[in-house]
Amino acid sequence: MRNKQVLLASRPKGQVQESDFRLVESETQAPREGQVLARVLYLSLDPYMRGRMDDARSYAQPQPVGEVMVGGTVAEVVESKDPGLRKGDLVTGMGGWQQFHVADAKALRKIDVSLAPPSAYLGVLGMPGVTAWYGLMQIGKPKAGETVVVSAAAGAVGSVVGQLAKIAGCRAVGVAGGPAKCEHVVRDLGFDACIDYKSSSFKDDFKKATPDRIDVVFENVGGEVFDSALARMNAFGRVALCGLVAGYSGQDIALHNVRSLLVNRLLVQGFIVSEHLEIWPQALRELAGHVAAKRIRYRETVAEGLENAPRAFIGMLRGENLGKQVVKVA
């Protein structure tokens, strides 16, 4: 079998371009003992990938130029040399931007599609969902009656954060780009309010949406949105710093309301969810229960075909997706 793969062709200079990727074909590898060969069904596209495309010091090694782009996948086992997995099993792993991948069986997680479709295990029942759960529940520690603000509220992580905040009895306020996304966040996801950061009345709208100011911020964007939240914090507020996507292409994301950190005695904690694997079983159990009971709803934006992954990735970085961005590979 031939294997289509998307490689990183060059490091982006500013905004990511389709020319930064290259589509190639190679021979499919055979699994060794303890490994499986799997056919990728869905590929996850996530903002963290942009940071790894740069050759800069970070929490993870840079994506090597000339190699398959890193990425989470849902795949079907087509050949197994491990007793724990059989042909036809569906698994999640880090298969990358390609049609087939070989992986150690212990690095894969078998999924149950009777609860949710396979693609959900790359979103609400996968890394984004666990990211939302950890940042809000372990760092934000929301209490009933508090106000929780989350940026990128229509995205894979932010949408779950707001719904978890509502389950905890909080006022959930989202920030998103454009009236359509804000309407979705309030109408479909149940947030109390959503502020359009593209609106000329953004600052006034932010104040109106947070009459009791803010107790918890779940930050995905940075820049002006984060700065505006800092100006509205209550004393002893908590900030779960998940992402700074506004600065991933070199934009200025300087903060001006830093004084709030001291005046309000804020706790600001950055986190990488892959460093907290011990909480994944609990988080996934709780998220699965909420999804089954329809307390958490989710949306997906699906691109068709591996060859369209670069274009979909660029669109996601521009905020063109609603909910989780995935690529249907097979």
pLDDT at 40: 98
Of the pLDDT bands very low, low, confident and very high (cuts 50, 70, 90), residue 56 is confident
Same domain, 87 and 186: no
Of the pLDDT bands very low, low, confident and very high (cuts 50, 70, 90), residue 330 is confident
Q: Is residue 114 part of a domain?
A: yes
Q: What is the mean pLDDT of residues 36-45?
A: 98
- Which residue(s) pair with 172 in the sheet? 148
Same domain, 33 and 49: yes
Same domain, 154 and 131: yes
Same domain, 142 and 188: yes
Same domain, 175 and 89: no
Judge residue 183's burial from the number of C-beta atoms within 10 Å of its C-beta, 0-12 exposed, 13-18 middle, 19 or more buried.
Answer: middle
Number of domains forming the structure of the chain = 2
Here the tokens at position 147 are 């106000």
Same domain, 78 and 94: yes
pLDDT of 59 higher than 90: no
Judge residue 247's burial from the number of C-beta atoms within 10 Å of its C-beta, 0-12 exposed, 13-18 middle, 19 or more buried.
Answer: middle
Q: Is residue 287 part of a domain?
A: no
Could you tell me the pTM of the whole model? Answer: 0.93
Structural domain span for residue 59 = 2-123+299-328
Q: Is residue 55 part of a domain?
A: yes
Same domain, 77 and 141: no
Same domain, 197 and 230: yes
Pairwise CA distance, residues 95 & 312, whole Å:
18
Q: Is residue 285 part of a domain?
A: no
Please name which of 40, 30, 12 lies closest in space to residue 97, comparing C-alpha atoms. Answer: 40
Same domain, 66 and 171: no
Q: Is residue 288 part of a domain?
A: no
Residue 257 is part of a domain; what is its CATH number?
A: 3.40.50.720
pLDDT of 215 higher than 80: yes
Q: Is residue 284 part of a domain?
A: no
pLDDT at 115: 87
* 3-class DSSP assignment, residue 69: coil
- Rg (alpha carbons) of the chain, rounded to whole number: 20
Residue 52 is part of a domain; what is its CATH number?
A: 3.90.180.10
Q: Is residue 85 part of a domain?
A: yes
Summarised one tens digit per residue, pLDDT across range 228-279 is: 999 999 999 999 999 988 877 667 778 899 999 999 999 999 999 999 999 9
Same domain, 262 and 305: no
Percentage of the chain surpassing pLDDT 70?
A: 99
Q: What is the mean pLDDT of residues 287-311?
A: 97
Same domain, 169 and 304: no
Q: Is residue 293 part of a domain?
A: no
Summarised one tens digit per residue, pLDDT across range 10-33 is: 999 989 999 999 999 999 999 999
User: What percentage of the chain's residues is helix, strand, coil (to nearest 5)?
Assistant: 30, 30, 40
